[in-house]
Amino acid sequence: MSQPSPEVYERDRGMDAHNAVMRDIRSERDETYDAHEPTRVWLDEDNTPDGVKTSLTIILNTGGCRWARAGGCTMCGYVAESVEGGSVSHEALMDQIDVCLEHEAENADEPAELIKIYTSGSFLDEREVPAESRRAVAETFADRERVVVESLPDFVSAEKLSEFTDRGLETDVAVGLETATDRVRHDCVNKYFAFSDFEDACAEAAEAGAGVKAYLLMKPPFLAESEALADMVSSVERCAAVDNCHTVSMNPCNVQRYTMVDELHFRGGYRPPWLWSVAAVLERTADADAIVVSDPVGAGSDRGPHNCGECDDRVQTAIKDFDLRQDPSVFEQVSCECERTWELVLEEETAFNQPLAR
C-alpha cells in the first residue's frame, strides 16, 4: 500500500509542473465557507447490490483534500469549497451532520436506507475527519442499511471500515480512481496513485467485509473524444474484474471553476464529453460483472456533458433509466441528427485539434 503522502509522489514523477499550475489557479479563489454547514445535502435513490434504495447524500465540508493542497487534479474545484484555515473540528462536523438529518426529516417520509458521505477529499483521512467524528458518524447511521464513504485508496484500512461493518452496516468505499489507465490518471488527471493501489484498497476493504465503488472520470483534458470513450470502456471492464469492486460510477467531466479544465475551456481547448459517448460506454459495458451507472452533472449545459441542445434531456433520461435498470435497450429509444456530428468527432478529433465541434 502506498504511503499517504502526496509529496512522495510529486517527486520524480513529473507532476511538479501540473501542481504548480493548479496551485496558482486555486489561489485565485476568495470565497470562504461556514464550517457548521455541509457543502451540500440531497435525497435521491440509488442502485446498490441489494437493489434500488432511497439515499441521503451528504457532502461534508472538511479541511479539503490533501492532494488538492499540493496542486491537485486538473478537473477538481472541490477544494475551493472547503473552509478557510484548512481544518474543521469534531463539533463543527457533528453540526453539519445535524443539518443533514434535519434536511432529511423535513423532506423525506422515511429515513433513507442508504447514506452516502463525501468530503471533497477522503472521509477516512484522519487529518480531514478525526477518528472521533468518524466513529460518531458510524454510530449516528448504525440503524440504516448501507453506507458509502469516499476515500482515496491510501487511507482505506480494514480497521477503520470495521467501525461501520461491525455495526451491521453494509459498507462501501467510494474511490475516485478516475481511470484504470495509469498514464491517463497521472498525465491528464494529475492524480498520484496507481491502479495497483486501487486493487490493494479493494483487498483491504474486503478484509472488513466492505465493498468498493469505483468512480471514473470520462474525458479528462488532453484526450480526444474517441480516446476518452475507449479509455472508459477498458476502465469499466478492468474495474469490474477486480474482486470486491461491485459498482462503477462513470462521471463525465464537467468544467468547474478554479481548475485547469476551466482555463482550457475558456480558451477553446476543452469540450466536455458528448452524452452520446456516455451512452455508448454504458451500452458497450452492459455485460460487465458490476453495476455500472453514470450521473452526468450539469448535463445539457456548455460546462457539462452535452449534445446538440435538442436531445440532451432525452438522452439524460435514458441514462438515468439505465442506472436503475441496467438495460442497454433504453438507448435504442433515443436518436437525434447530432449523432452524425458526434460520429464525425469520434473519427476526426485528435488530442491536438480538439474540440472539433462545441
Q: Give the footprint of ligand SF4 on this chain (CB under 6 A).
A: 65, 67-68, 72-73, 76, 78, 120-121, 152, 176, 191
**Residue 334 binds: one of Zn ion, ligand SF4, none (C-beta under 5 to 8 A by kind):** none
Nearer to ligand SF4 by Cβ, of 78 and 123: the residue is 78
Nearer to ligand SF4 by Cβ, of 67 and 274: the residue is 67
Nearer to ligand SF4 by Cβ, of 164 and 258: the residue is 258
Q: Cα separation of 158 and 205, whole Å?
A: 6
Residue 317: exposed, middle, or buried by beta-carbon count in 10 A (0-12, 13-18, 19+)? middle
Q: Cα separation of 64 and 68, whole Å?
A: 7
Question: In sequence order, which residues have a C-beta less than 8 Å from that of residue 128 and are 6 or more positions away?
Answer: 62, 63, 64, 65, 66, 87, 88, 119, 121, 122
Q: Cα separation of 209 and 188, whole Å?
A: 33
Q: Cα separation of 227 and 225, whole Å?
A: 6
Q: Which DSSP state fits 273?
A: P
Amino acid identity for residue 296 in this structure? P
Q: Tell me the CA distances in angstroms from 189 to 74, 99, 123, 153, 202, one per residue in order.
A: 5, 33, 21, 16, 21
Nearest-approach distance from CB 160 to ligand SF4, in angstroms: 18
Which of 173, 189, 280, 311 binds Zn ion (CB under 5 A)? It is: 311
Q: Phi/psi zone of residue 168: left (φ > 0), alpha (ψ -120 to 50 degrees), beta?
A: left
Which of 57, 307, 316, 354 binds Zn ion (CB under 5 A)? It is: 307
Nearer to ligand SF4 by Cβ, of 59 and 278: the residue is 59
Query: Going residue by residue from 317 to 336, which x/- string records binding to Zn ion, judged by CB under 5 A?
Result: -------------------x
- Of 180, 174, 160, 319, nearest in space to 237 by CA: 180
Which of 1, 99, 308, 356 binds Zn ion (CB under 5 A)? It is: 308
Nearer to ligand SF4 by Cβ, of 65 and 88: the residue is 65
Nearest-approach distance from CB 215 to ligand SF4, in angstroms: 9
Nearest-approach distance from CB 54 to ligand SF4, in angstroms: 26
Q: Cα separation of 152 and 89, whole Å?
A: 21
Nearest-approach distance from CB 276 to Zn ion, in angstroms: 8
**Residue 67 binds: one of ligand SF4, Zn ion, none (C-beta under 5 to 8 A by kind):** ligand SF4
Q: Cα separation of 190 and 4, whole Å?
A: 16
**Residue 76 binds: one of Zn ion, ligand SF4, none (C-beta under 5 to 8 A by kind):** ligand SF4
Q: Cα torsion at 224, 230, 232, 238 (round to 10°)?
A: -150
Nearest-approach distance from CB 5 to Zn ion, in angstroms: 46
**Residue 338 binds: one of ligand SF4, Zn ion, none (C-beta under 5 to 8 A by kind):** Zn ion
Q: Cα separation of 117 and 255, whole Å?
A: 23
Nearer to ligand SF4 by Cβ, of 11 and 358: the residue is 11
**Residue 302 binds: one of Zn ion, ligand SF4, none (C-beta under 5 to 8 A by kind):** none
Nearest-approach distance from CB 272 to ligand SF4, in angstroms: 16
Nearer to ligand SF4 by Cβ, of 69 and 320: the residue is 69
Residues paired with residue 171 on neighbouring β-strands, in sequence order? 147
Helices (DSSP H) in 182-311: which residue ranges?
182-184, 195-207, 225-240, 260-266, 275-284
**Residue 307 binds: one of ligand SF4, Zn ion, none (C-beta under 5 to 8 A by kind):** Zn ion
Rule CB under 5 A: is residue 343 a binding residue for Zn ion? no
**Which residues here bind Zn ion, judged by CB under 5 A?**
307-308, 310-311, 336, 338
